[in-house]
A and B are shown apart, each in its own frame.
Chain A
Amino acid sequence: MNLGARTHLFWPLLLITAALAAVFAAYFRIGPPLQAAIVFPFVLLCPGMALARLLPLRGELEAWVLAVALSLTLGILVALAMLIAGGWSPLGGLTSLAAVTLYGAVLQLARGPVQHRQRLGAQSR
């Protein structure tokens, strides 16, 4: 497996792991600080990173800023939807965000190394 393929797999696999870990930690209530150490980075970064890395960006700064902004936005919208629907469930909210994260991660995997090479090419300009 060449460096490009390994690099391409890093984020999708990390995102999938983070999503599953967050839902697991919340479902089994493993308790802080470990539960917080898993859930906080997941909610604040992962759903957005799963989608942001599908965009034509130049550099990690753009990816991270857009990822956090998107994650906060998705978190707000999911939480609001629960409030409005009268079905408040933090576990349900985390599961929804995990679903978005898994969707984005799978898309990144499916798009494959071709898009990753294009992004690396954009970063080198």
Chain B
Amino acid sequence: MNVAVTDVRQGHWSWPPTTLPLVAVVVAASLWISSLSAIDPGQMTDLGLLSVLPVRFYAGLGLLLISACAVIYYGRAHPALFTLHVVVLIGMIHGTPAWVYGTLRYSWAWKHVGIVDYIQRHGAVDPAVSVLPAYHNWPGFFALSALLTEGAGFENPLAYASWAPVIFNLLNLGALTLLLRSLTRDRRLIALATLLFFVTNWVGQDYFAPQALGYFLHLVILAICTTWLGAAQPPSLHTIRRLLLWRRLAAAVHAVLHRAAATEPGDRAAKGPMARGWAILVLLLFAAVVTSHQLTPVMTIITVTGLVLVRRCRDWLLPILMVALFIGWLATGAGTFMTDGLASLIASIGQVTDHVNSSLRDASRFSAGQVIVSLVVRALTLAVWTLAFLGAIRRWRAGKRDLSAWVLGAAPFVPLVGDSYGGEILFRTFLFSLPAAAFFVAALIYPRSRQGRTKGAAVPSALLSGLLLTGFLFSYYGKDRQYYFTSQEAAATVYVATHAPPGTLLVEGSRNYPSQFKNYENFIYVPIAREPADSQARVVADPVGTFVRWMSDARYNDAYIILTRGQKIDTESLGSLPPGALSNIERALRHSPRFRVVFANDDAVVFVLASDKQGSGQREVSAQ
């Protein structure tokens, strides 16, 4: 990537344009690499990975950030040098867990491996499957992963899935740069916005998941719309008056549209057959998005529609065709899922407060460390949006209208009206608004091309980046004690998956362990932590009696209980079960003659009914 940083000032003291920043990058990378061997994820406390990162890791991050801000400010270094800073930053943040953990981070990533496993075994998907049906109705990402996995000769995606955050963030770096170039010609603003994006993107939707792929394609689509399909001629005042009957409003809108057309880049807009070619390319990319993810197409359609309305995208037919593609997939490939879910979706439209609240978990039951993490997440989110608003005002007062950026920032708030998206809509809104938010936050430092002539611009940008990065580290790493799993936990799942027949009941402490990544469709899952309060109370009071009743049910061909280290950490941290509940349950089962252990290691144990011979008539196996 070449983010050329144009020189904007002569400093009072000289700044070697390339050597010193290059040395800083090398030193930062060296500090990082030397710190990796000292990180023991098994020692994480309630503050997650932060609690085990050595001081030199933080020193390397700080040095990198200061050097990057200096490179942006002085603007005389080689363009690729800033790129190198961001690449190393991505490596440090997202490569550290991948390298240090040795296993796939985050329980949902394991479930996604399970969907790929399903496709590899069946060569098909089952839209009517009872568990994880959404993935079978939007299978694009998983189908590609299955093709890659088998084409590369791997048994499953576990061989490469851990590195997905590094890959997707590097891809986003390229796409984001293209998008930001269509918003401004000021290369300092582009560079600082890029840096701020990566030190504030705490949402963590960059793992082995359809959202990560969808987000990258979404950014590329927007970049095409604002670059090669951008810069439409604003309508005349007469046309606007016919739409907006109020004269003053029409005049104001006309002034804004023309000011935006004059100040935003627009020299790359294609015409004629070439423009149609770009539109076809957009629709092709959108087809991949539509078949891979539920929410991203909605965000893309709303954003592109907004760009068309403010005449920052000239192809008015594009949103219409995108809607047609989206509805077409909902009616066909995702028809089974929509038939079941449409009624609840319609009922939830307009419940904005409920959707927002569903994203904000009740932290009163959290452990102390998780309360801190939760508060920092909310503070960081609020801070970014507030700073972005202030930056947008500063740009407006500097004569820049930035209509494209306003649309990119505002459009993601529209889906708040529609659905809670499983309690995650607020965080997804933050994710999709972040490119524009980072742009406007950067504009606080560099509101116009000639601004930032004093030494003061470098210091605030470094301080701002450092503060936001601190919040990011809490937010992104703060739950890693739950997200980290050992190979021994995974071994327990493999044991159950390879011994259980279809129609097996699997009682779990919680969903937080390497689950559903092998033969996942064979099981009926009952996580204790998600049971209703009265059912949980019965389990906690009498685990032996309750589980005997559940597991003796003739509807199930077999039955297992799996309790792991990760489940215990999860329930303790989030308060989803009384303190020590899972340990007490395990103790009760171990001491009960009605249960026997069929698999055990330091981090997991699997129980069956002692009377159960079918499928689990194995002696106790202690795994490595």
Contacts and interface: CB of A to CB of B under 8 A. Distances in A.
A102 B223 CA distance: 27
A30 B152 CA distance: 9
B175 A65 contact: yes
B291 interface: yes
Interface of A: 22, 25-26, 29-32, 35-36, 39-40, 43-44, 55-56, 58-62, 64-66, 68-70, 72-73, 75-80, 82-84, 86, 88, 90-91, 93-94
Given A61-B174, A68-B171, A83-B125, A76 B291 contact: yes
Interface string B356-389: 0000000000000000000000000000000000
A22 B148 CA distance: 11
Given A65-B178, A77-B288, A39 B151 contact: yes
Contact of B2 (A29, A59, A70): A59
B232 interface: no
Interface residues of B, number: 43
Interface in B306-356: 333
A75 B217 contact: no
B139 A83 contact: yes
Given A62-B178, A73-B217, A40 B287 contact: no
Given A75-B148, A90-B150, 4 more contacts: A26-B153, A36-B153, A75-B144, A83-B125
A46 to B, nearest CB: 13
Interface in B145-204: 146-148, 150-154, 159-160, 171, 174-175, 177-178
B178 A75 contact: no
B291 A80 contact: yes
A24 B154 CA distance: 16
A62 B177 CA distance: 9
Contacts, number: 120
A33 to B, nearest CB: 9
Contacts of B144: 72, 75-76, 79
Contacts of A62: 178
B220 A93 contact: no
A51 B101 CA distance: 38
A56 B274 contact: yes
B140 interface: yes
Contacts of A77: 284, 287-288, 291
Given A72-B217, A77-B288, A90-B147, A35 B153 contact: yes
A43 B213 contact: no
Most buried by A among B123, B139, B147, B148: B147
A93 B147 contact: yes
A73 B148 contact: no
A35 B139 contact: no
A90 B146 contact: yes
Most buried by A among B144, B268, B333: B144
B216 interface: yes
Query: What are the 3 A-B residue pairs with the smallest beta carbon separation, nearest first?
Result: A88-B123, A79-B143, A36-B152
A40 B148 CA distance: 7
A30 B153 CA distance: 8
A72 B145 CA distance: 10
Contacts of B177: 61, 65
Given A22-B151, A26-B151, A69-B175, A83 B143 contact: yes
23 contacts: A25-B153, A29-B153, A36-B154, A39-B152, A43-B147, A43-B148, A55-B277, A56-B270, A60-B2, A65-B175, A66-B281, A68-B174, A69-B216, A72-B216, A72-B217, A76-B140, A76-B143, A76-B291, A79-B140, A79-B146, A80-B139, A83-B143, A90-B151
A68 B143 CA distance: 17
A88 B124 contact: yes
A83 B124 contact: yes
